[in-house]
Structure formats: C-alpha cells, structure tokens
Amino acid sequence: MSTEFRLEQVERRLDRIAARIRELELELELGGEAEAREEKPWVPPTSRPLGEPAQRAPQSSPRPAPARAPQRAQPGVDFEALFGGRVLAWVGALAILLGAVLFLGMAISRDWIDEVTRTVIAMLGSLALLGVGVWLEEGRTRTDAARAAVASGIFGLFATLVVATQVYELISSSTGFVFAALIAAAGMAVAIRWSSQLVAGIGSLGALAAPLLVGAPDTESIGFVFLALVAVTAIVVWQRWGWLVLGAFAVSAPQLLAWVNTVDFNAEGAPAGLLIGLLIFYAVYLVGAFGYELRSKEGQKLPVASLAQLFASTALVVGTGYHVLDTIDAQSAAITWLFGSSLGLVTLGLVALLMPVHREIGSLLVGIGIGISALGFAVALSGPALVLVWAAEGAILAYLSVFLEDEENPALSSAERMLVVAGTFIGLALAHILLFEAPPKALFEGVESLGSALGALGACAAAILAVGFAARRVHPAALRIAGFAAGALLVYLGSVLIVDTIGVDAFGESRQVAQVWLSVFWTVTGLGALVWGLVRDSASIRLGGLILLGAAITKVWTYDLSELDELARVLSFVGLGVLLLVGAFAYQRIKPGNETDQQSPQDSR
C-alpha cells in the first residue's frame, strides 16, 4: 500500500471530522438564539392617578418547558450488525470451502484431474483465501470477513496436507511434518498480531494435531508435540485465552499416551526416560494453568478451565507413571513415585495458596496430593497397619484444620474441606475394618486375628473422637455425633472380644455361651449409659443407652430364641429380664424432672 494512498485516507477522515464539528457549532448557535427570543425584556410599571383602579396586566401564556434532550438508547445486541457482519462472513467462508470440496469431488468422480492436480488446486485455493484475508485485515478494514477467510485458509491447508500425506501419499510424513509446522507457525503469528482467538485455535491446535494429521510416527513426533505445546502455552499466557488451556491438553494428551505405549518398558533406561518425559510435559501444563491465572486477573471468578486442566493432567501423569513402574514389577519404585507425587503436589498447593491466584487452585492441588498419599499407603501397606495409618492421617488432618483461617462467606471454608478429607480417611479405615479385620460375622464366629481387630477398632475410635473434637468449632453437634460413632465402635470392640475369647473353644468350635454373655454385655452397657445420662442430665447419652438396650432386646427375642439351646436360651432371657427391671427401677428413681424427689414433707401430706 503506497504512502500517497494512506495520506489521502487520512485527509478524508479529517474532512469528515471538520464537517461534523461545523454541524455541532451551528446547532449550538441556533439553540442560543431561540432561548434569547423566548426571554422578554423587563418593562417598568407606569404611574397612574390616585383613585384610578389599577388595570390588571394581561396574563401571559405559560412559558413552555424546555424540550428534554433525547435519551440515548441503551447498548444492546445489534442483530443487524451481527448477522450482516459476522454471520454472513463465516457462512460465506464455509460456503467457499464446501463448494471447493464439492468441485473436487465431482472432478474426482468424472476423472477430470489427477491426484497431483487435485492437491495443487486445493492448496492454491487455501493459499488464496489466506492471502485475501491477510490483505483485507492489513488494509485497515478489520472486518470479520478477513478473519473468516484466514481461518478457512489455514484449515484448508491442513486438510490438503492430510490428503497429500495419508490419502494420496504424494509426500512423505517427514516432509508433511515440516509443512505442518510452517502452517501452524503462520497461523499463530497471524493470531497474535490480530488478537484473534479463532485463528489462534485453528493454528495452535492444528499445530499440536499435526503429527496425527500427517500420520507421523509417535516416537519421531513427540518432540514436535512438546515444542508446539510450549508455543501454545506461551500464547495462552500472553493473550489470556483460557479455553486454549483445555484445548492444548485435549490434543496433546492422547499423543503423549501413544508415545508411552510405543516404548519398550523393559529396555535399559526406558522407565526413567518415560518418567522424565512425563514430568517435563506436566511442567508445561502447570506453567499454562498458573501463567494464565497470574495474567487473567479475573478476581473471584472460578477458574474452571485451569482447574479441569490441572486435575486431568495430574491424573494423566501420575497414573501413567505408576502404570509404567507397575508393569515392570518395580513395586518399590511405584510406591516411591506415588509418595513423591503426593509430597510434590501438596507443596505446590501450599505455594499456590500464597500466590496471587484463585485459592481453588491451591486447594485442588493439596486435595489431590492427599488423595494420592492414601493410594500410596494402600499399595504399600495392608491389614491393620493400613487402618492405623489411615486413621492417624485423618486425625492429623483434623488437627491441622484448627489452624486454617475461615474465608469470608465461603461456600465451604478451608477448615471444613480439611475436615471432609479427614472424615474420608476415617471412612476408608472403617470400611477396611468391616471388610477384613472385623466383619459383621465376627459377632458369631470370631475373628482371624484378635489383636489386629482390637487395634484397628481402637485406632479408628480414637481418630473419630479427634475429628469430632476438631470439628466442634465449625459444627457444634460434631463432637456429639463423633461420640456416638466412637462409642458404637467401642461396643463393637467389646463384642468381638467376648465372642472371640469365650465363644470359641480350643478346637475352634463356637460355643453358645458367648451369645448369652454378648446379650448381657449389650444390656449392661446400655443400662450404664442410661444411668450415666440420667446422672449427667444428658439426653444424648440416654438416647445411646436406649438404642443399645433396644438392640439387646431384639437380639434376645430373635436370634437367641431361635438359635440357642434351651439352657442358653433360659439364661439369656432371665439375665435380660433382671437387668431390665434394675434399669427401670433406676430410671424411675433418678429420671430428670422427677417431682417426687423435689417435694418437701409438707407438700406430700
């Protein structure tokens, strides 16, 4: 474009601005003259003889109110501009692409042109679209038609490259690989210059997908994928286009997995190289997520794209690394990988909490790290040792929640989240106990290892109390609920102890006398809780005692009546009846609000 043409355009714009200024000045002058005509000069009153009545001045017509300035219309969606400027531009670009495809299809079906000519025509047409779009945009028109033409041209070049390499095999994969890199570089340069997200999406994601498009081997293309991922990450951070974070991961992750599957895990140095490669890719993913958050400055807006990308990339890298080590039977290395990942994620999450990014980023990384540690313990340990570690970790997390400051009006504060995680660990420990160490059938058959069962149950009960004690700041009823749960576990512990010690003889045969003692134990414990609740005037303790008494009565009237021998059945019913009578007497004597105990001798007369 010549300098004379640019100067001519500038002169035309200055002429239009000067004409508009003259119009505004004329409007102001006309408005001032109208206001001057409306104002009347002041006339002094004339003198009149004495006694002559004063003449009433003629009433002037009321002065019309000045017309209000027309209010500007509120900005809204200009459907005419949207349809005429954008929709028509993109529909036109798509129509050109579709017409070219239909023409090529017709030419192929009628054998008008050979394979080379078809490819050349498609390439020239795409280059023409790209050139026209660049010419229009750089000509200061800045229309959607220009960007639509560029995006369509880039897409057409990628499609032509796929046809030339995989369909017709006119060029090799390595040559197509180079052309794909050039097309992607041109597309990303144009996108950055014009700040066009659509062109950036086609160019950058097309660059990442170039090895797939040209059918390049995974072992040769992983380096290009990494370089393209770095370039896309730089665009994400610089231009603050958050949706590209997810797009880059979605395109690069399958190629990373394909590369891992092509490597022989048993080859010397292969596992270490794979793990290093995974960590390098993960570092780029982290830079993209953190860099975008540092640059976006979106305040309290939830970073959905960054959170999804961090969660998915962490699961991909940690899970793939563990799979590689587990495949070659490197169990110690696999456990070390899990615990190292857990420690790294927790540290990174704590650092993120101190950075000017959304707090959800740090919370997510800490939560994932703690979850991976639970998985690491499950792989490294088994039996009661695993239960003890899970219970201890839950108690530690509950203790740490006390030092977390609550956020202002949060949906779920950091302390509450830590307590939820602690409760999850306690739940895992309890589930392991009920499945392996002391399943419900232990109430009738005993357990395989009494020490393991008692240790696991005791540790879990203590951890539950710790969680309840820490959670009482957040929820006042947490300690009461934790007391119920811990008490139930202690009763279960005593029941397992009775059945395993009394209910099984030296030959491993079950004895029915244990069921009698079990019924007595439940009844005595329930009565003790009831009396203690009466003395302490605690309705919750009394409720727990009544629930246990109800369980004892149900057991005696169902299981004992149908399964025990005659003598054991008699002992069970008699013991239950005596204890219930004692409990009823105690309840009547010391029940809360007993008016008989509060009456004076004068009132009783």
d(CA 306, CA 292): 8
Q: What is the mean pLDDT of the chain?
A: 78
- Contact between 527 and 500 (Cβ < 8 Å): no
- Within 8 A by CB and 6+ apart from 395, the residues are 422, 462, 463, 466, 467
Residue 432, both tokens: 């392991």
Q: What DSSP string runs through 35-104?
A: HHHHSPPP-PPPP--TTPPPPPPPPPPPPPPPPPPPPPPPP---HHHIIIIIIHHHHHHHHHHHHHHHHH
CB-count burial class (<10 Å; 0-12, 13-18, 19+) for 554: exposed
Higher per-residue confidence, 416 vs 549: 549
d(CA 524, CA 545): 9
Phi/psi class of residue 523: alpha, beta or left (left: φ > 0; alpha: ψ in -120 to 50)? alpha
Closest CA to 521 of 541, 540, 503, 539: 503
Higher per-residue confidence, 95 vs 63: 95
Q: What is the largest CA-CA distance in the chain?
A: 145
d(CA 137, CA 318): 45
CB-count burial class (<10 Å; 0-12, 13-18, 19+) for 480: middle
Whole-number percent of the chain with pLDDT over 70: 76
Alpha helix (H) ranges present in 297-358? 304-327, 331-354
d(CA 206, CA 219): 19
- Contact between 149 and 93 (Cβ < 8 Å): yes
- pLDDT band for position 508 (50/70/90)? very low
Angle between helices 304-327 and 331-354 (to 10 degrees): 160
Q: What is the pLDDT of residues 284-314, one digit of tens each?
A: 999 988 988 888 765 567 788 889 999 999 9
- Within 8 A by CB and 6+ apart from 445, the residues are 499, 504, 510
- pLDDT band for position 597 (50/70/90)? very low
pLDDT for position 572: 87
Q: What is the pLDDT of residues 410-428, one digit of tens each?
A: 556 777 888 888 999 999 9
Residue 501, both tokens: 């010690």
Q: Where are the domains of the chain?
A: 88-216, 383-487, 512-592
pLDDT for position 128: 85
Using the structure block, give the residue that is written with the tokens 């009578």: 581
Residue 328 per-residue DSSP state: T
Out of 37-51, 222-236, 311-325, 551-565, pick the least confident: 37-51
Per residue, the 3-state secondary structure of 151-203, as one string, reads: HHHHHHHHHHHHHHHHHCCCCCHHHHHHHHHHHHHHHHHHHHHHCCHHHHHHH
pLDDT for position 500: 87
d(CA 326, CA 452): 29
Alpha helix (H) ranges present in 209-303? 210-214, 218-239, 243-262, 270-296
Q: Per-residue pLDDT for 406 more than 50?
A: yes
pLDDT for position 375: 92
pLDDT for position 291: 87
d(CA 241, CA 296): 9
pLDDT for position 454: 93
- pLDDT band for position 317 (50/70/90)? very high
Phi then psi for residue 510, to 5 deg, are: -75, 145
Q: What is the pLDDT of residues 65-124, one digit of tens each?
A: 444 444 444 444 444 544 444 556 556 656 665 665 565 555 556 566 677 887 788 788
Higher per-residue confidence, 41 vs 502: 502
- Within 8 A by CB and 6+ apart from 581, the residues are none
The arithmetic mean of pLDDT across residues 449-456, rounded, is: 92
- SS3 helix, strand, coil % of the chain, rounded to 5? 80, 0, 20
d(CA 91, CA 93): 5
Residue 503 per-residue DSSP state: S
Phi then psi for residue 504, to 5 deg, are: -125, 130
Mean pLDDT is highest, among 101-105, 334-338, 509-513, for 334-338
- pLDDT band for position 595 (50/70/90)? very low
- Contact between 150 and 190 (Cβ < 8 Å): yes
510: helix, strand or coil: strand
Higher per-residue confidence, 212 vs 553: 553
Q: Per-residue pLDDT for 371 more than 80?
A: yes
Q: What is the pLDDT of residues 256-270, one digit of tens each?
A: 999 999 888 888 888
d(CA 461, CA 486): 5
Residue 438 per-residue DSSP state: S
- pTM of the entire structure? 0.69
Residue 151, both tokens: 């995006």
Out of 11-15, 107-111, 148-152, 568-572, pick the least confident: 107-111
Q: What is the pLDDT of residues 184-204, one digit of tens each?
A: 788 778 877 877 777 777 777
d(CA 498, CA 453): 13
The Cα-based distances of 317 to 44, 312, 321, 357 in angstroms read 97, 9, 6, 23
405: helix, strand or coil: coil
pLDDT for position 100: 58
Residue 403 per-residue DSSP state: G
The arithmetic mean of pLDDT across residues 212-230, rounded, is: 76
Residue 118, both tokens: 């078809």
The arithmetic mean of pLDDT across residues 371-390, rounded, is: 91
Q: What is the pLDDT of residues 128-145, one digit of tens each?
A: 878 887 887 776 555 667
